[in-house]
Structure 1
């Protein structure tokens, strides 16, 4: 079955509605950024929210903030004392997530860090419950290698753009496609992890540490 625009619209209309603040953020992202397609969007956002609510995490690490849409979705499921550390190195768009985080009811639970993700991961000494990867694809393997020892048993890693516009099954040889293929193979071959790939938007991997 092909997921046509008409069917996707039906799915969105029959899924839980996104909060008003996220609607505002989505609109501003399309108005003021050059790559609005990087936004998680309604369907993926509601999936992130649902998984977070099922886990009720105390600590979420997000690598790749962009305009903060996914951050706010993930924050919906945080435990009462929970927090999310979200990391990005794009100073030019940082004003957008900062503005919407301040407007959010989760403002005190969000720690937005402008830095290289590897630097931030090295400084984390707490047990992690959930990770969302949506940044530079070439470092996905490295991020998981660094985060996995800090992730609790039963913890979840969600990785975005795993089907890379469908190029993972073609004869494409560009570096980003190869990086995604290598990551998918690496995760699948790790006996300490279990994984399922969902064909939502550009593909999402849900990875569980055993």
Structure 2
């Protein structure tokens, strides 16, 4: 019997980019699950996004998917790991998306001056989970009023909200940081935020005020 998640995945449009899933699985590279990436793509369509800033490229899977939404959408994506950066660069070239995807090789906490040449419709945060608040605070000024800030992996393998089941001290620290970030975001009145139980959890914040 096909699991429900696989069934729903199969209902979504087939995309050549999904051939990268096998590489990610083999090399243990964390990428978005199919349903989550299709969900964000639909948000980009509904929001009529033209410029997206992504924190955390990995192998370029999500950036390539975002670029597939519309031929005129522009994706700027930041990656600090050289191996991931080189693989993402290759994948972007293989899919002939260099004209849509600007790949930045730098630590996202040091990359502001590389990407602050424009205002973005959407900021997508999918990098070091302990740094989500810093990424949010650093890059949110580049998001237009009414724009979206999406944070992935806010449940961290379902440990968030269930910290009592965590045995590792390091993982406990990570979970506490994510819980603190989620609480901070839920109480931030400059944004209207919803938390969605999809994939590994996702927050979607609408920017209500300018900087």
2:76 paired residue among 85, 88, 110: 85
Question: TM-score normalised to the size of structure 1?
Answer: 0.88
SS for the counterpart of 1:164 is: coil
Contact 1:156 1:207 in 2 (8 A): yes
State the partner residue of 1:25. 20
> Residues 5, 181 of structure 1: CA spacing in aligned structure 2 closer, same or farther, 3 A cutoff?
farther
Point out the more displaced range, 166-175 or 183-192.
166-175
Structure 1 position 190, deviation (Å) = 0.6
Matched, 1:205 2:197: no
> Residues 197, 5 of structure 1: CA spacing in aligned structure 2 closer, same or farther, 3 A cutoff?
farther
Structure 1 position 19, deviation (Å) = 0.9
Structure 1 position 138, deviation (Å) = 1.6
List alignment gaps of at least 5 residues for structure 1.
none
State the partner residue of 2:61. 69
> RMSD of the alignment, in Å?
1.9
List alignment gaps of at least 5 residues for structure 2.
none
Contact 2:150 2:205 in 1 (8 A): yes
1:44 paired residue among 22, 32, 36: 36
Q: Distance in 2 between matches of 1:77 and 1:208?
A: 20
SS for the counterpart of 2:149 is: strand
Q: Deviations over 1:55-113 (max 9, x none)?
A: 23232110011111111122223572x42111111112323211221122532011111
